Amino acid sequence: MARTYARVKVDIWHDDDFRRLSSAAQHLYFTLLTDPDLSYCGIADWRPKRMAGRAGAWMADAVEIAACELLEKHMVIVCEDTEEALVRSFLRHDGVLQNAKLAVSAANAIGSIASNDLRGIVVHELKRLKKENPEWTAWKVDSINKVLTREAINAKQIDPFGPDFAPRLGDIWAKPGMPFGPDSGSGLDDA
């Protein structure tokens, strides 16, 4: 069952981290969030060259540079080895887990994640959501409860530019003269 719409809450504009992103990073976030192939657990293909074709004069390097900002904030996690990107807060905001049928679709999508690390991050997010929202329908779905028994990985405790995640993006991030980054004075924090 393919997704036919993307839910974007207008309170995204109340998020200080999101507002501090460059327009390019915000554009990339919305591009990933509205990707027709984004799975019910928030996984999209990570193919910067193909993604660049979605806007006039957008180049793959510009996509990767914008991704660095999203990676720094752990809003998106990229595994280049499996060519997957995770929109980390997708399950929190899309409403998938408040519908039993969609929760089954999400559980199936989790099983299709090629990256073990990204799957672990999704499990961690599910565990957080269960604790915060025990009334959601998803927790009555057997396949979601099976997913909850899997190993969890906290995305905020990994280096999104480390050897397991986005090695090429780490190279781009480290280039001198980047308009953002750990030493740029951009105002982006490590929250």
Q: Does the pLDDT of residue 184 top 50, yes or no?
A: no
Burial class (CB in 10 A: 0-12, 13-18, 19+), 22: middle
Instruction: Calculate mean pLDDT across residues 36-61.
Output: 95
Closest CA to 31 of 91, 72, 1, 76: 76
- What angle, 0 to 180 degrees and rounded to 10, lies between the N-to-C axes of helices 23-33 and 60-72? 90
Q: Does the pLDDT of residue 191 top 90, yes or no?
A: no
| Pair 180, 68: CB distance under 8 Å | yes
Which residues lie closer than 8 Å to 108 by C-beta, 6 or more apart?
A: 40, 143
Q: Does the pLDDT of residue 169 top 80, yes or no?
A: no
Instruction: Calculate mean pLDDT across residues 86-106.
Output: 96
Q: Does the pLDDT of residue 179 top 70, yes or no?
A: no
Instruction: Average the pLDDT over each of 58-62, 139-143, 179-183 and give the range with the smallest value.
Output: 179-183
Provide the whole-model pTM: 0.87
The whole-number pLDDT of residue 190 equals 38
| Pair 60, 49: CB distance under 8 Å | yes
Instruction: Average the pLDDT over each of 63-77, 85-99, 108-122, 158-172 and give the range with the smallest value.
Output: 158-172
Q: State the DSSP code for 134.
A: T
DSSP one-letter string for 49-99: HHHHTTSTT--HHHHHHHHHHHHHTTSEEEETTTTEEEETTHHHHS-GGGS
